[in-house]
Amino acid sequence: MSSSPQGWPAPQPPQPHPPVPPAYGAPQPPATTNGLAVASLVTGIVCLVPPLGLVLGALALPAIRRKGQRGKGLAVAGMALSLVSTLLVAAGFATGAFSELADGARKVKDEVASTDSAFSLRTGDCFDQPGGATAETEVMTVKDVDCAKPHDAEVTGAFQLTGDAYPGVPAIEKQAEERCLTIGERYSLDHWAVPENAVTFYYHPTEDSWKLQKDRTVTCAYAAEKGKLTGSLRADATTLDAHQLAYLTAVNAVEAVLLKEPEADPDADFDANTAWAGSVAKALDGAAGRLKGHTFPGASAAPVADVVTSLEKARGHWRKAADAVDADAFWTHYEPGYDALPLDLGKDARAALKLSTKAPEPEPAG
């Protein structure tokens, strides 16, 4: 036996106490709610995966009985809701209702994705405008359309207005009509390919967009005056080959000068008409020179040479008209000069170069 340093007997180790039974009538711990039953009900309500609620409910019921848990009603309700959802889904697939719903959702998505701000239009974009392109109204959004499909308009380019003060609608429109016409002609160098229903169109800043959004952009376009446009009208250096570009650049220069004919005839304004005739002769000389200076391939060489011959013949008449001493002499060469430049001039050359062969219609008399 060991002893303590003081000599007293060593203490004995403590004896364990027997467990104390609970007092009579003390409450028992509450039964827990089965988690699978809760999951079954939630799944049945949300309907994310309809059959899952049935499976969870079936697993929950025996566990509830075995463990004395609560949640039987939850499990049964979840299974019932899941069963209804499963039947509805099956019916939806059987009748094609879900397919129609999905198609509708895709259409809405495409519609939203194709709606764009009018401020974000870029050169080459094709679009539909609410109410049609000829409707004169303030526009905030347009619908982007594939150019191969029918559309209201096609953007040909844009330019920036200058100045701090809003210039006013009449001043903007005057500038837009002139500059958008030129932008459109450069965008579509193959003028014969521009349909008759295509007209020059533009968006310009309003006074509010000028002040609030610092908007200075005039967006130019070709728009359908009637019906729709189909296919892109773009025919410039980005879409034409070198031979097409050389031909159109040459002949378009002559067309541009012819369109500048004075409104007054030579009897009323002789000097203006002779000066214009001189410009026509110069343009014809330049066009013939450019065509002769370019080597056109294969089947296009001969018809282009025929065009050069016609241009040189016409140049002689217009040079004489420019040198006329009076109105009578001017008229003597005016008609032959135009006769040498028929509206369908170069049709064969265009066919060989794979350009449009639909010649412009003559303007109605009167």
Mind listing the pLDDT tens digit of every residue in the chain (366 residues)? 333 344 334 344 444 444 444 444 444 556 677 776 677 667 656 655 666 666 766 776 777 677 767 767 776 776 777 777 777 767 666 676 555 655 554 543 444 334 456 678 899 999 998 877 766 777 778 899 999 999 999 999 999 999 999 999 999 999 999 999 999 999 999 999 999 999 999 999 999 999 998 999 999 999 999 999 999 999 999 999 999 999 999 999 999 999 999 999 999 999 999 999 999 999 999 999 999 999 999 999 999 999 999 999 999 999 999 999 999 999 999 999 999 999 999 999 999 999 999 988 876 554
Q: Give the dihedral sign, CA 33/38/40/41.
A: positive
Backbone Cα Rg of the chain: 43
Nearest CA among 104, 140, 147 for reference residue 124: 147
Q: In what order do the strands lie in the sheet with 141-145?
A: 115-117, 141-145, 126-128, 153-160, 217-224, 198-203
What residues form DSSP beta bridges with 201?
221
Q: What's phi and psi for 201, nearest 5 deg?
A: -145, 150
Question: C-alpha 74: how far from its chain's center?
Answer: 53
pTM for the full predicted model: 0.66
Cα 313 from Cα 29, distance rounded (Å): 115
The 8-class DSSP code of residue 29 comes to P
pLDDT on residue 211? 92
Cβ within 8 Å of residue 215, ≥6 positions away: 119, 205, 206, 209
Cβ within 8 Å of residue 70, ≥6 positions away: 31, 32, 33, 34, 64
- The count of other CB atoms within 10 Å of the CB of residue 306 is 13
Burial 251-269 (b: 16+ CB within 10 A, else e): bbbbeebbeeebeeebeee
- The count of other CB atoms within 10 Å of the CB of residue 188 is 23
What amino acid occupies position 50? P
Residue 191, judged by CB atoms within 10 A of its CB (0-12, 13-18, 19+), counts as middle
Cα 177 from Cα 309, distance rounded (Å): 35
What residues form DSSP beta bridges with 214?
none
What are the Cα distances from residue 334, in Å, to 102, 265, 288, 343? 68, 11, 19, 16
Element (H, E) at 250: helix 242-258
The 8-class DSSP code of residue 21 comes to P
Element (H, E) at 126: strand 126-128
pLDDT on residue 138? 77
Cα 100 from Cα 231, distance rounded (Å): 31
pLDDT on residue 57? 63
Burial 194-233 (b: 16+ CB within 10 A, else e): beeebbbbbbbbeeebbeeeebeebbbbbbbeeeebeebb
